[in-house]
Amino acid sequence: MAGKELRHTDVVKNVSETPTSAEAAPGRPVGVPSVPPSGERDTRARVARLILEHGPITASTLGERMGLTPAAIRRHLDALVTEGMIEVRRDRRPAHRGRGRPAKWFAITDAGRSAFVHAYDDLATSALRFLAERAGEQAVAEFARRQIADLERRYHPVVQGAPPQQRVRRLAEALSADGYAAAAGKAPQQNGGEQLCQHHCPVAHVAAEFPQLCEAETEAFSRLLGTPVQRLATIAHGDGVCTTHVSSRSLCEAARADVQNTSDEETGGSSL
């Protein structure tokens, strides 16, 4: 029996005695289910990842890259929009559209981006658990120190190049440039000193189980500032802010040490 052609909202479907999958990409065997429930989730995650990595992106481009029909990609996009993982943007620039409606572009939302961040956190936590089981807690501590070493190398010329009284502020500025939302200010304690406050921690979920990450960071701050520091609070432990205290005495001692080192260098240079 010949198929009957139906037209509705610009979508053409062929109705015949043998059912076909509306979502099957070209080449899918007739009668085979398109995607099982678990496969649906995997495909949807792949769609979201492509949007994260290449978005904003159009539905047609996504369909081409994933080998999905327009109907299939639209269903996944609609679901992701409903879940708040992605959002629709319309390109109204004349150069990028014809006579019809403005093109739809799909972009990842903050919630969608956070979902991927938490997924990476889970992977990192699992990897550190494996490392601790196989090589011990000391191996985790060594890993943490190695991870923070790059940050310390980048910050060293910025922080050490400033006078001791300005180093906490310079460190806060460097951290903020890397997304830590840091600030420096006077400490509220009677002993005075300064506090370094970090309002964001990209590894907070991992550090909650592996405090070695926080300990390595604190050690790096001490070396960068040239004086002992004390970690008072961490986001990983449930505090609202990561707070590091630097006593005024330590800053003064660091300043005197700098003056002494400069004097020694000048004396040594003049004796040559």
Residue ranges per structural domain of the chain? 44-94+101-108, 116-268
Q: Is it the case that residue 135 has pLDDT exceeding 80?
A: yes
CATH number of 116-268: 3.30.1380
Q: Is it the case that residue 57 has pLDDT exceeding 70?
A: yes
Q: Is it the case that residue 209 has pLDDT exceeding 70?
A: yes
CATH number of 44-94+101-108: 1.10.10.10
CB atoms within 10 A of CB 228: 14
Q: Roughly what angle, to the nearest 10 degrees, separates helices 212-225 and 167-177? A: 130
Closest CA to 258 of 193, 161, 155: 161
Cα separation values, 244 from 5, 183, 210, 249, Å: 71, 11, 18, 15
Say which range, 20-24, 138-142, 170-174, 253-257, has the weakest mean pLDDT: 20-24
Closest CA to 233 of 265, 272, 187: 187
pLDDT band (50, 70, 90) for residue 133: very high
Question: Which residues make beta-bridge pairs with 186?
Answer: 194
Chain centroid to CA 231: how far?
Answer: 24
CA distance 12 to 182: 57
Angle at 206 between CA 205 and CA 210, to 5 degrees: 130
Q: Is it the case that residue 200 has pLDDT exceeding 60?
A: yes
Cα separation values, 211 from 27, 144, 208, Å: 52, 9, 6
Query: Which tokens is 136 given?
Result: 């011990």
Say which range, 43-57, 59-73, 256-270, has the weakest mean pLDDT: 256-270
pLDDT band (50, 70, 90) for residue 110: confident
Residues 16-25 pLDDT 10s: 333 334 444 4
Rounded to 5 degrees, what are φ and ψ at 147?
-65, -40
Rounded to 5 degrees, what are φ and ψ at 186?
-70, 140
Q: Are 56 and 106 in contact (CB under 8 A)?
A: yes
Distance from the first to the final alpha carbon of the chain: 104
pLDDT of residue 112: 84
DSSP 8-state code for residue 200 = -
Which of the two residues, 229 and 18, has the higher pLDDT score?
Answer: 229
Q: Are 242 and 235 in contact (CB under 8 A)?
A: yes
